[in-house]
Chain A
Amino acid sequence: MSADPTSGTDQDLLEATRAGDESAFVEIYRRHRDRIYRFAYRMTGSPEAARDVTQSCFVGLLEKPSRYDGQRASLGTYLCGAARHLSLRRASRAWRERSLAALPALRPASAPSPLETLLEDERARVVREALKALAPLHREVLILAEYEDLDLGTIAQIVGAEVGAVKVRLHRARRKLRAALEAHMRSGTLVVD
């Protein structure tokens, strides 16, 4: 591996990782950690579960690097698919058991005032609960499309479905989410910036 691991492609870094280069592995992690963690967090609703899912994804890459086929998908898509698989396993259990209200409050980096912070937390709670009400298959496509800005083809690769099926799921997810949020929008809890 070259001296600067950040310049290599994912495939180069993976080869270097197989050869025992720790910096290459860390570079792979740094490139993909945010998307994987965000996705796992929104799927499971728990920072602890998201941390475990993220860690398991990359440990899986260490354990069985041959499972990743660079001809079929990018490394990010592969990791996202692994995170989705792990999240779905946890979501069925953890999403029921944990109360989302008990999650640590997600405060914006610059909260101007306690009132604004309170309002922002309330909006976040409303959105979380609306997403929580969606079926996991609808929730995952909505998160990937709306939060991660992935195209339909990539989403189809991640969730292992046809593009047409992804379109249908996305359409239904948006419709249900809108129905869940409309009451809050009318009451003024949710405001569009």
Chain B
Amino acid sequence: MKEDAKPDWGDGPERDELRAMLRHWRAPQAPPEIEDALRREFRRRRSHRRRALWASLAAAATLIVAWQMRSADLPLRSPSPEAPVSVAPSLATPRQTVEPNRVSDSTPAVGEPARARRRPRPAPKEPEVVVEPAQAELLAELSRKMWGTRQAVPGTTIPEMPEGDLPRYREQWETVAGEWPLVQQSVPLGGR
């Protein structure tokens, strides 16, 4: 018979006998200093929690005050008092679309504070260019290619040509008019 298969002291007089023997070893009661130490620990943690709560409340109040001061300061920086500027722009506000070659000089839309602060300056007056009707389109296309003009993104303006580089057609037209290559001169203009 295996040793593990022997009956143990699970119940009955054998277990009572074991318990009686074990009772010779008595455990003392919990010392009272544990309760005192736990009370101190509880108070320390509670006060720490309260301090943390007050600190977070103070931080939140500071943030709110700073936010209000900033929002009160924003309209003073606005260029025109008649154009109200929204402090918190809504992302849901549809953006104003700008036509490709249009330089916007309209009143800035509400909800776009960045654009509201910058009042678009009037474009400098370009010198008058007198060309033939077909050449006007060619020149315009050429200038777009040269300056990399593209579809204007909403809120941007078309880059301006430097004033000094503008062709002075009126002055130079007479000098270059007779110097076209031969192939240009051979085009029959009035043959049809």
Contacts and interface: CB of A to CB of B under 8 A. Distances in A.
Interface of A: 20, 22, 25-26, 29-30, 33-34, 36-38, 41-42, 47, 51, 54-55, 58-59, 62, 106, 108, 120, 123-124, 126-128, 131, 146-147, 170-172, 174-175, 177-178, 181, 185, 190, 192-193
B20 to A, nearest CB: 4
A11 B19 CA distance: 33
A55 to B, nearest CB: 5
A124 B24 contact: yes
Interface residues on B, range: 20 to 34
A22 B6 contact: no
A189 to B, nearest CB: 10
A37 B30 contact: yes
B22 A127 contact: yes
Given A54-B30, A128-B25, A59 B38 contact: yes
A177 B18 contact: yes
Given A37-B30, A51-B31, A174-B9, A190 B24 contact: yes
Nearest to B13: A192
A179 to B, nearest CB: 10
Contact of A33 (B18, B30, B39, B43): B30
